[in-house]
């Protein structure tokens, strides 16, 4: 919070106390609870939003459930199995309730899911889906969290830099690099990194600083050595778009009247840019952050596959062809929940960053 | 402040826009100077150029002398010391001139603390006093509010409070009431002049409304197409103008004593584009006195002491 507020507070309460006429109850509450009255508004808004996401979740999971259910027959594989007994058929029929129509199966799945039971995975040794997903989510987070922090930080730095140095050589370099980043497919950049560090660099120097495949977390050094390349791969593409976005937001703000006012006040250029301009230019970026972070936490199919990183994306790739219905549904559920909750978080953050927004 | 030969040019895709073409201007201590002219005549650019607030691509030449220093050649650092402290500015649109994410109080406190080693509590106290001075009721509560919680007129009052926070020697108000509701324009103008007197600063009042400067300005400077067309004491300009353009402006003021059904006068035609390289008097196509002599731009010549006009036909016009 900007410093002036702290000095303002005591004055404010005395001013209110003096004014105290009509709604005395509100005033006491304001006086005793400080900002909490406002917080109640935000809280009510959040609760309302959470309730409105329930039908959204139901609709999304229903569509996916139907699509996966009609896309293949879990019994088909047993037909080619010579050693399997009839009991195996019965177990699968029983497990997936294949004797019931799809809508009824869905009702069964969603009631279980509502109580926290996401079912059993068939492709990964009959383990509970919830446990598998939780473990893979953690693995994905090992890449997603540092990558997100890197993206958010660098996007701001690059975006602000190219905005204040608009049309300079530096700006053109950043712009050119981000177009390359946007245009280049993820798999190409990932493979390039692997080839470079795994083959070429080693050939030249005889030294291999990074693992080019697999997750290694025996020590922190191992984690760094194995996570760096996938993190860079994840970062490049999103950073390219986010820095463009930050540049545009910053340029728009820099051209605004209140920036001219700030300059007319005789403030230093640093204060004008980093206090007055950046503070406003971050607001439109919040949504992008939320969506990108939710996407990263949902797992990247391509990056995790290239680097053999056992995260959610890789899990989805193996669950789909195996018609591991409960596992696929569990992953869909996680992705949907992530997107919805980060969207909500973004909307709440808006309220913190932009005083013009009111939740009522 | 003394402005000499101020010229501002903007390189654009269509060519060089010559927004200000050699403007001289001086304001004495405590004086109120009105600058009037149609839209696009270069009033705002002139004001922004003196504060060095134009975009970097603007090419500015000439001199802006302020207390013996040329502001145009000052270092950035020294110029920052002048802005907001010696010279302060009030902008046209109060809806966009305040930063939406900081409280009004914070923004005024920042103005005070940018130029004086004052602690926050003291600056805050002063802020509340300033808001009170410009006629904002419950100033200590209002100071904690954000600009969007203020009405247009109140925001402009807050801008005024901010502008005079450091008792500037010169206050520049660029069309301070144009964006406001007609009903509050007079109030805001009154606040500006009262505060200006209280602080003892000079006032450069930019407007396209001649009526507005009538009761306030000591002197009026009429601008057209980037040049000063007439300059003199307010009464001289209003009652003894010798310039066809000024006369046109004066005739286009709505009058309360007008006979019924007389249509409001408007100067025919449009001002020339800033791109124009034409060597003729820029008012020639719109002027009833125009003839062959007007193929060159007239000089600004003294008519009576302290009253200058730019016209080849001063004699005929004054008759
Ligand atoms: N940044 C800029 N780039 C290019 N041209 C500009 C720029 N700023 C102003 N101009 C041009 O300079 C000329 C004078 O503009 P200015 O804003 O000073 O007019 P004004 O007298 O203040 O008019 P108004 O009454 O509309 O405020 C205009 O023709 C305008 O197009
Ligand atoms: Mg203007």
Give me the interface pTM, i.e. the ipTM.
Answer: 0.92
How many whole angstroms from B20 Cα to the centroid of ligand 1? 9
Q: Which domains does chain B have, with CATH numbers?
A: 2-92+166-181+195-318 (3.40.50.300)
**Within-domain flag for A186:** yes
Kindly tell me the burial class for residue A237, based on how many C-beta atoms sit within 10 Å of its own C-beta (0-12, 13-18, 19 or more): buried
Q: Are A141 and A300 in contact (CB under 8 A)?
A: no
> Any bridge partners for residue A120, and if so which?
A128
**For position B279, what pLDDT does the model report?**
83
Tell me the residues of B at the A interface, defined by beta carbons under 8 Å apart.
51, 53, 76, 80-85, 88-89, 91, 93, 96-103, 105-106, 109-111, 114-115, 120-121, 123-124, 128, 138, 140-141, 143-144, 146, 148, 159, 162
The confidence band for A72, taking pLDDT boundaries of 50, 70 and 90, is confident
Total tally of structural domains belonging to chain A:
1
Cα–Cα distance between A235 and A222 in angstroms, integer?
Answer: 20
- Nearest Cβ partner for B106 among A2, A258, A263: A2
The Cα B203–Cα B2 span in angstroms is 13
Highest mean pLDDT: which of A5-19, A330-344, B47-61, B255-269?
Answer: B47-61
Higher-pLDDT residue of A92, A143 = A143
> What does DSSP assign to residue A277?
I
| Whole-number Cα distances in Å, A117 to A60, A113, A122, A298 | 18, 5, 15, 20
Q: Which residues contact A65 (CB under 8 A, 6 or more apart)?
A: A102, A105, A106, A109, A325, A329
CB-ligand 1 contact for B183 (6 Å cutoff): no
Of B84, B123, B144, the CB nearest to A265: B84
Instruction: Tell me the sheet residues that pair with B18.
Output: B9
- The mean pLDDT of A23-43, rounded to a whole number, is 49
Residues of B in contact with A269 (CB under 8 A): 76
Evaluate whether residue A211 is within a structural domain: yes
**Under an 8 A CB cutoff, do B124 and A7 touch?**
yes
- Helices and strands in chain B, H and E counts: 12, 12
What is the residue range of A172's domain? 127-353
pLDDT at A126 exceeding the cut of 90: no
- d(CA B259, CA B145) in angstroms, rounded, equals 48
**Residue A3 pLDDT exceeds 60:** no
Q: Specify if A90 maps to a domain.
A: no
Asked, for residue A49, whether it belongs to a domain, the answer is no
Q: Is B39 in the pocket of ligand 1 (CB under 6 A)?
A: yes
Of B81, B93, B115, the CB nearest to A257: B93
Cβ B27 vs Cβ A238: under 8 Å: no
Determine the residue of chain B that is closest to A357 in CA distance: B148
- Is the predicted pLDDT of residue A37 greater than 60, yes or no? no
Pocket test for ligand 1, best of B43, B221, B224 (most atoms within 8 A of CB): B43
Percent of chain B past pLDDT 90, that is, above it, reads: 73
| A49 inside 8 A of chain B by CB | no
Average pLDDT over residues B125-144: 96
Tell me the pLDDT band of A40, cut-offs 50, 70 and 90: low
Task: With respect to residue A105, please indicate whether it lies within any of the assigned structural domains.
Answer: no
pLDDT(B314) > 90: no
Cβ–Cβ below 8 Å for A3 and B93: no
- The candidate with the shortest Cα–Cα distance to A229, out of A263, A195, A279, A275, is A195
> Where do we find the tokens 């693992």?
A211
Nearest-atom number in ligand 1 for the CA of B40 is 19
Closest chain A CA to residue B122: A7
Cα separation, B267 vs B213, in Å, equals 20
**Are the Cβ atoms of A12 and B144 closer than 8 angstroms?**
yes
Locate the chain A residue with the closest alpha carbon to B165: A265
B12 and B184 Cβ atoms separated by less than 8 Å: no
pLDDT tops 90 at residue B193: yes
- Residue B232 pLDDT more than 80? yes
% of chain B beyond a pLDDT of 70: 97
Q: Which of A206-220, B91-105, B230-244 has the lowest mean pLDDT?
A: A206-220
Q: How far apart are CA B288 and CA B273, in angstroms?
A: 20
Question: Residue B15 forms beta bridges with which residues?
Answer: B12
Span B138-145, mean pLDDT? 96
CA separation, residue B89 to residues A348, B40, B67, B82, B188 (Å): 36, 19, 18, 11, 15
How would residue B237 be classed by pLDDT, with cut points 50, 70 and 90? very high
Residue A224 placed within a domain: yes
Our answer on whether the CB atom of B272 is closer than 6 Å to any ligand 1 atom is no
Flag if A12 and B128 touch (Cβ within 8 Å): no
Comparing A41-45, A144-148, A187-191, B100-104, which segment has the lowest mean pLDDT?
A41-45
pLDDT reported for residue B258: 61
For residue range B69-83, list pLDDT tens digits in order: 999 999 999 999 999
pTM of the model: 0.84
Mean pLDDT, residues B185-207: 94
Taking contacts as CB-CB distances below 8 angstroms, the residues of chain A near B124 are: 4, 7-8, 11
CB atoms within 10 A of CB A27: 16
Please work out whether the CB of residue B14 comes within 6 Å of at least one atom of ligand 1: no
**Nearest by Cα to A241 from A319, A170, A181, A324:** A181
Asked whether B274 lines ligand 1 (CB < 6 A), one says yes
**Summary mean pLDDT of chain B:** 92
The answer to whether A4 contacts B114, with C-beta atoms less than 8 Å apart, is no
- Taking an 8 Å cut-off on Cβ atoms, the answer to whether A8 and B144 are in contact is yes
Ligand 1 site, residue B298, Cβ cutoff 6 A: no
Enter the DSSP assignment of B170.
E
Q: Do A4 and B89 touch (CB under 8 A)?
A: no
Tell me the CATH number at A301. Answer: 1.10.3720.10
- Which pLDDT does position B25 carry in this prediction? 94
- CA B79 to chain CA mean position, Å: 20
Ligand 1 pocket test, pick from B20, B274, B282 with the greatest ligand atom count within 8 Å of Cβ, gives: B274
Tokens representing B187 are 């109030």
Residue of the CA atom closest to atom 8 of ligand 1: B45
CA distance A269 to chain B (A): 9
Q: A69 in a domain, yes or no?
A: no
Please work out whether the CB of residue B17 comes within 6 Å of at least one atom of ligand 1.
Answer: yes
- Pocket lining: B18 vs ligand 1, CB cutoff 6 Å: no
Region A329-340 average pLDDT? 89
Q: Chain B neighbours among A 228-267 (CB < 8 Å)?
A: 256-258, 260-267
Mean pLDDT of B295-316: 90
- Is the pLDDT confidence value at A311 over 60? yes
Closest Cα partner for B224 from B246, B251, B252? Answer: B246
Let me know if residue A192 belongs to a domain.
yes
pLDDT classification of A315: cutoffs 50, 70, 90: very high
User: Quick one: what percent of chain A has pLDDT higher than 70?
Assistant: 89
Q: What are the pLDDT digits (tens) for A230-257?
A: 999 999 989 999 999 999 999 999 999 9
> Pseudo-torsion of CA B285, B289, B293, B296, nearest 10°?
-40
**Listed residue (B305, B297, B312) closest to B226, CA to CA:** B297
Stretch among A18-22, A193-197, B7-11, B313-317 having the lowest mean pLDDT: A18-22
Confidence of residue A207 (pLDDT cuts 50, 70, 90): confident
The helix/strand/coil state of B147 is helix
User: In this predicted structure, what is the pLDDT of residue A86?
Assistant: 82
Whether pLDDT at A36 is above 80: no
Give the model's pLDDT for residue B82.
96
pLDDT-derived band at B265, boundaries 50, 70, 90: confident
Res A79 pLDDT > 80:
no
* Locus of tokens 């006195």: B289
The pLDDT value given to residue A39 = 52
Q: What's the token pair of residue B203? A: 């006032």
């Amino acid at each position: 919070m900007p410093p002036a507020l702290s000095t303002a507070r005591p004055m404010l309460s005395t001013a209110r106390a003096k004014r105290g006429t009509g709604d005395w109850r509100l005033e006491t509450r304001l006086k005793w609870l400080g900002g909490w009255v406002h917080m109640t508004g935000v809280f009510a808004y959040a609760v309302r939003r959470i309730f409105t996401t329930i039908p959204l979740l139901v609709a999304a999971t229903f569509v996916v459930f139907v699509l996966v259910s009609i896309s293949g027959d879990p019994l088909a594989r047993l037909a080619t199995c010579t050693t399997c007994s009839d009991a195996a058929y019965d177990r699968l029929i029983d497990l997936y309730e294949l004797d019931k129509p799809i809508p009824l199966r869905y009702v069964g799945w969603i009631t279980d899911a509502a109580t926290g039971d996401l079912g059993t995975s068939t492709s990964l040794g009959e383990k509970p889906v919830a446990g598998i997903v939780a473990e893979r989510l953690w693995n994905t987070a090992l890449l997603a969290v540092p990558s997100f922090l890197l993206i958010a930080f660098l996007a701001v730095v690059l975006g602000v830099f190219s905005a204040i140095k608009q049309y300079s050589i530096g700006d053109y370099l950043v712009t050119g690099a981000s177009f390359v980043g946007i245009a280049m497919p993820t798999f190409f950049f990932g493979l390039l990194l692997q080839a470079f560090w795994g083959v070429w660099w080693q050939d030249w120097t005889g030294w291999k600083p990074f693992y080019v495949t697999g997750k290694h977390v025996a020590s922190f050094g191992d984690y760094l050595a194995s996570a760096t390349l996938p993190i860079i791969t994840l970062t490049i593409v999103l950073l390219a778009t986010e820095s463009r976005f930050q540049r545009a937001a910053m340029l728009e703000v820099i051209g605004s009247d209140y920036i001219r006012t700030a300059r007319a006040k005789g403030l230093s250029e640093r204060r004008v840019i980093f206090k007055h301009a950046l503070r406003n230019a971050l607001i439109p970026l919040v949504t992008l952050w939320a969506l990108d972070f939710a996407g990263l936490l949902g797992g990247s199919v391509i990056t995790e596959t290239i680097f053999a990183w056992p995260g959610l994306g890789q899990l989805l790739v193996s669950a789909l062809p195996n018609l591991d219905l409960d596992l696929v549904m569990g992953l869909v559920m996680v992705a949907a929940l992530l997107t919805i909750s980060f969207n909500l978080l973004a909307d709440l953050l808006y309220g913190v960053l932009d005083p013009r927004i009111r939740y009522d | 402040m003394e402005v000499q030969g101020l010229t501002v040019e903007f390189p654009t895709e269509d060519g060089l826009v010559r927004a200000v073409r050699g403007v001289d201007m001086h304001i004495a201590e405590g004086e109120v100077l009105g600058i009037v002219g149609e839209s696009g005549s270069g009033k705002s650019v002139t004001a922004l150029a003196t504060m060095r607030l134009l975009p970097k691509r603007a090419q500015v030449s000439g001199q802006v002398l302020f207390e013996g220093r040329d502001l145009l050649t000052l270092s950035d650092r020294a110029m920052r010391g002048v802005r907001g402290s010696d010279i302060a500015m009030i902008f046209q649109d109060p809806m966009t001139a305040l930063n939406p994410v900081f409280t009004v109080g914070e923004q005024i406190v920042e103005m005070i603390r940018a130029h004086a080693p004052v602690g926050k509590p003291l600056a805050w106290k002063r802020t509340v006093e300033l808001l009170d001075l410009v006629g904002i009721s419950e100033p200590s509560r209002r100071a904690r509010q954000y600009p969007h919680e203020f009405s247009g007129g109140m925001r402009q009052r807050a801008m005024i409070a901010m502008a005079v926070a450091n008792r500037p020697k010169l206050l520049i108000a660029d069309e301070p009431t144009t964006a406001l509701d007609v009903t509050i324009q007079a109030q805001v103008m009154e606040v500006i002049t009262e505060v200006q007197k209280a602080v003892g600063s000079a006032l450069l009042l930019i407007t396209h409304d001649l009526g507005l400067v009538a009761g306030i300005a000591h002197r009026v400077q009429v601008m057209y197409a980037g040049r000063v067309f007439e300059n003199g004491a307010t009464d001289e300009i209003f009652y003894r103008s010798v310039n066809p353009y000024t006369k046109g402006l004066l005739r286009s003021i709505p009058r309360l004593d007008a006979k019924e059904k007389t249509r409001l006068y408007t100067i025919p035609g449009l001002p020339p584009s800033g791109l124009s390289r034409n060597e003729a008097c820029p008012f020639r196509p719109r002027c009833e006195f125009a003839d062959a002599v007007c193929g060159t731009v007239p000089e600004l010549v003294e008519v009576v002491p302290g009253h200058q006009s730019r016209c080849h036909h001063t004699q005929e016009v004054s008759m």
